Structure 1
């Protein structure tokens, strides 16, 4: 399935994953434009960066990260609210640009990090950031959000299925959400 744009976090581990996706696209004869996007970078965990989870579990802030992430600003780092705002803003901006350039059904890929992806999914599902810890995102999993004129739709979350060819089908024009859930991909 052709991907028209590949956007990656500037962190090396994401660049490596993006390279694998780009190589597969080129190997299939598809042209793909690859760019780096700072807004998709991992949350700035400040003083927590590089610390062992077993040590962070002892920190009083850990419980707040799990139960009320919207109240968290990491010592010497970023707030989780700011992280979500920058990530969601970037994804929506990029999606709008891709749609203008390639049409509403164009598929593009963002390669990012667990908390970033969970915060984008929470936004697309209309969930408060405090509920984003209920979303699971495995390394190298795929989550799919389609932004429509009325709202975003989460089409897949945390999947490991490699066949996403059904995404190449354009969304039904002006249909919105289908009563009863619809008949699935055509």
Structure 2
């Protein structure tokens, strides 16, 4: 099955302000975030991409724009299911202020039980994002074959929830995962299980390209001994 490259959006104005952006409109990349996005085409040089999918929020579209400019053959698709968690009444509030809320302990220690006031549950966020990935895997496989790679640009909590699903981890453990702004997390899906290839990678991604040699043949078997790595 397809290999998914999950890109977290570049650093945003909300990140630097210490604000939980959520779905608040008008949040965009700051200067550093724009520079991170500008480096994405070089990081993905040599990686054939079958599709590019984005959260509907501006900061994700901005992150992908340099890649789309560099590869005009790619068409941006938007999927609301990989949009940011709906933090409801928490959206737009300072993270320091939210730290004192009783719900924060639940978010940190028992996120599968966390429901944001006026928003959604973290469990629902994970479910919709996993559904989106399964759908896109099937679409990309059908159109481009099982060696195809595609990009999704989403948000920190969404990506962490997808990694937890890929690793067979309960959502209550997902706060142990960390992904930097504009980092890439790669998951290769097979018929029987996924493989986490990269987690929060901020370097080059060229070695994700199919290279033959039996290590990217669609097998659901792990490479005994760890494999030879990139040539």
TM-score by length of 1: 0.93
Indicate the residue corresponding to 2:97 in structure 1: 55
Helix, strand or coil at the partner of 1:146: strand
Shift of 1:24: 2.5
Tell me how far apart the structure 1 counterparts of residues 136 and 158 of structure 2 sit (CA, whole Å): 15
Indicate the residue corresponding to 2:226 in structure 1: 181
Question: 1:117 and 2:183 equivalent?
Answer: no
Residues 33-86 of structure 1: CA distance to partner in whole angstroms, max 9, x if unpaired? 210000010000000001100110010000110111001000010000000000
Q: How does 1:122-137 map to 2 (within 5 A)?
A: 122-137=164-179
Indicate the residue corresponding to 1:19 in structure 2: 65
Q: How does 1:28-107 map to 2 (within 5 A)?
A: 31-107=73-149
Indicate the residue corresponding to 1:151 in structure 2: 193
Helix, strand or coil at the partner of 2:56: coil
| Residues 192 and 220 in structure 2, CA contact (< 8 A), matched pair in contact too | no
Segments of 5+ residues of structure 1 without an aligned counterpart are none
Helix, strand or coil at the partner of 2:197: strand
Indicate the residue corresponding to 2:184 in structure 1: 142
Q: 172-181 or 139-148, which moves further after superposition?
A: 172-181
Segments of 5+ residues of structure 2 without an aligned counterpart are 1-46
TM-score by length of 2: 0.75
Shift of 1:166: 2.0
Shift of 1:173: 4.0
Tell me how far apart the structure 2 counterparts of residues 120 and 175 of structure 1 sit (CA, whole Å): 19
Residues 89-121 of structure 1: CA distance to partner in whole angstroms, max 9, x if unpaired? 101210121011001111100000000000001
Question: 1:7 and 2:7 equivalent?
Answer: no
Question: 1:166 and 2:207 equivalent?
Answer: yes
Higher relative contact order (CA 8 A, sep 6+): 2
The alignment yields a C-alpha RMSD, in angstroms, of: 1.3
